[in-house]
Amino acid sequence: MRGVWLATVWGIDWPSVSGTTPAIQKRQKAEMAELLDRCEEMNLTSVFFQVRGMADVMYESKLEPWSSFVSGKRGVSPGWDPLAFVVDECHRRGLECYAWVNPFRWSSGTNYDSEIDRKWKDRGWLLSHGKYTVFNPGLEEVRDHIVDICREIVTGYAVDGLVFDDYFYPNRIPETSAAPDYGLWQEQSPWMSFGDWRRANVHKTVADIHCMLLDTRPDIRFGISPAGVAGKTHTSSEKWGMLPCGVKADDWQYKEIYSDPLGWLYQRTVDFISPQIYWPTTHSTAPYEPLVRWWSNAAGLYGCHFYSSMTLAPLEKNNTPSQRSELLRQVEANRTLSMTGDFGSVFYSAKFLGKLSQDIARRHYSCKALSPMICRKGVEKPLPPSSLALKGGVLSWSYDKCGPDPIRRYAVYAFPAHLSKSEIMDDGGDGIDNRYLVRICYGCSIAVPMGMSYAVTAIDGNSVESEPVFI
């Protein structure tokens, strides 16, 4: 996994301007195309596009208002569909597009007052503490709404995955009778501790999303990006049968926002975990490498994948060879400390990619890659493409989409004609060596140079690759 977080809330990465005029629309599309071009040039595999930041969306929805971050005003259409555009543009470049959703956050201080916001207030859906307001995870109708939003996204758009970040309950909401959800806890589950009840509400939401995806889009992957430290001795390691995380830093998320990632891993309600390990290898209380080792071990124990989320933000003020070397060392740690081989990195965020692109392209990302395969019960290797042909510099093939395989894309390999099929295979038995991977295609044709031999494989939504066909 070579991913990037593309943040839209407050225009962090995109767009730089909001509005509804044709000129602004043109500029927004051009900026997005430039970001995605850089992702392709860096040989990334995946883009995590933020489509829902404050219970407002970057697509045509029947359930929630348009995002003000694209149109300039909450509930007002920008005149185009950013999610449809980004999915198409990602796929045109051979990139996976994940829909990044903030499941609960409604506001970080703004009192939204559109018609639908007033309905949510009247229904008692909102839960506030300090400046943060969220949809109340303790209400079943709220959890159902979040499931419906995610269903709307994955059934309406050809996204490759769904990912949540780390906004759950408001930070440090009290566990006393002064808490706004105290009465609801007492009504629903007074036999549980207040904290366990809140964590259970988050677990229910995650499990409901997981079940919905299995019913509607079993061909896509679901993951969550929690805070970088979890599973300490005094929080949840013993509960879920895991060795405690040994760094000095605290597992603050367990009691402050009621996030318990080990529970999601244990219950197998996520395909991958992407914790935000935003500290250097030399950090005194949260050093990068021990955290990578622990998270990789935790994910592997429960049969899930671990892709570290790492921050590029230090490059903004300190774009030096030593700082870039530190980040490359972190990428290397994600590989060498992987317990299962299902490793990866997800960079935060897209606006900083250019500061690392040349260094990482020379070393770790010099070749293209396939994202790691998710192993599900009953999933078989897809059938290979058929009717492979090369004519006039265009390589084409066909595939029977009426079959049971949810084929989404194809890998195209090119290699010198004098090499045999056995000579181009990966030494580890993992198909064709990725040195020969030239393109991921979401269609069934591609322009290629003449004078080479070619192979094409079909890849399903879980990155299970078919046997190759050659020409």
Query: How do residues 256-296 score in pLDDT, each as one tens digit?
Result: 999 999 999 999 999 999 999 999 999 999 999 999 999 99
For residue 345 the two structure tokens come to: 């990195």
Q: What is the pLDDT of residues 68-121, one digit of tens each?
A: 999 999 999 999 999 999 999 999 999 999 999 999 999 999 999 999 999 999
- Strand order of the β-sheet with 2-6 is 305-306, 272-273, 221-224, 161-164, 96-101, 46-52, 2-6, 345-348, 308-311
Residues 316 and 187 placed together within one structural domain of the fold: yes
CA distance 429 to 316: 41
Residues 326 and 442 placed together within one structural domain of the fold: no
Residues 357 and 391 placed together within one structural domain of the fold: no
What three-state secondary structure class fits 187?
A: helix
Model pTM score: 0.97
For residue 379 the two structure tokens come to: 């999933």
Residue 169 lies in a domain: yes
Residues 97 and 146 placed together within one structural domain of the fold: yes
Residues 91 and 133 placed together within one structural domain of the fold: yes
DSSP 382: P
Contacts of 107 (CB under 8 A, 6+ apart): 54, 132, 133
For residue 3 the two structure tokens come to: 């991913």
CA distance 171 to 158: 34
Question: b or e along 135-169 (b: 16 or more beta carbons within 10 Å of the residue's beta carbon)?
Answer: bbbbbeebbebbbebbbbbbeebebbbbbbbbbbb
Residues 215 and 331 placed together within one structural domain of the fold: yes
Residues 159 and 271 placed together within one structural domain of the fold: yes
Q: How confident is the model at residue 342 (pLDDT cuts 50, 70, 90)?
A: confident
Residue 255 lies in a domain: yes
Q: How confident is the model at residue 168 (pLDDT cuts 50, 70, 90)?
A: very high
Domain enclosing residue 280, as ranges? 2-362
Burial (CB < 10 A; 0-12, 13-18, 19+), residue 298, is buried
Mean pLDDT of 449-464: 94
Residues 328 and 390 placed together within one structural domain of the fold: no
Q: For residue 120, give the CATH number of its domain.
A: 3.20.20.80
Spatial CA neighbour of 383 closest among 400, 395, 366: 400
Residues 153 and 192 placed together within one structural domain of the fold: yes
Residue 369 lies in a domain: no
Residue 379 lies in a domain: no
Structural domain total, the chain: 2
Last residue of a domain, one of 316, 346, 362: 362
Residue 374 lies in a domain: no
Residues 163 and 247 placed together within one structural domain of the fold: yes
